Amino acid sequence: MVKNEQELLEAIKHEHHITKEITDTLIELDQLPSTGTQVFLNDLIVALYKRVVDVNDDIVVEIFADKVITPKEYTAWVEDNFTEYSANLFKKTIDE
């Protein structure tokens, strides 16, 4: 169970298996109105994206049937599950 922001960040950066609980927590953070939370959320989803892109880091994500996912699948998941603001911030960040 993810108990705090630091634990969530560590899971995103280091866990081999990203559980549904972690992805659900990301989606829940997207519903909070705080600008600081939005920045933190963007940092998390970008960090996870970078791990997806890294061919040497074969993380599996539970919501994707426990398989290694592609950057395109991950980006589509962000676009489908996050607010337009968060999805656009994510896309802007990864395009920089």
Residue-by-residue pLDDT tens, the chain, 96 positions? 456 888 899 999 999 889 999 999 999 999 988 888 899 999 999 999 999 998 788 888 899 887 778 899 999 999 999 999 999 999 999 998
- Residue keyed to tokens 């892109």: 53
- 18's CB contacts (< 8 A; 6+ apart) are 11, 12, 48, 59, 60, 61, 62
Cα–Cα dist 24/60, whole Å: 15
Query: How is residue 41 written in tokens?
Result: 């959320």
Query: How is residue 73 written in tokens?
Result: 């699948």
CB 45 within 8 A of CB 78: yes
How far is the first Cα of the chain from the last one, in angstroms, to the nearest whole number? 33
Rounded to two decimals, what is the model's pTM?
A: 0.89
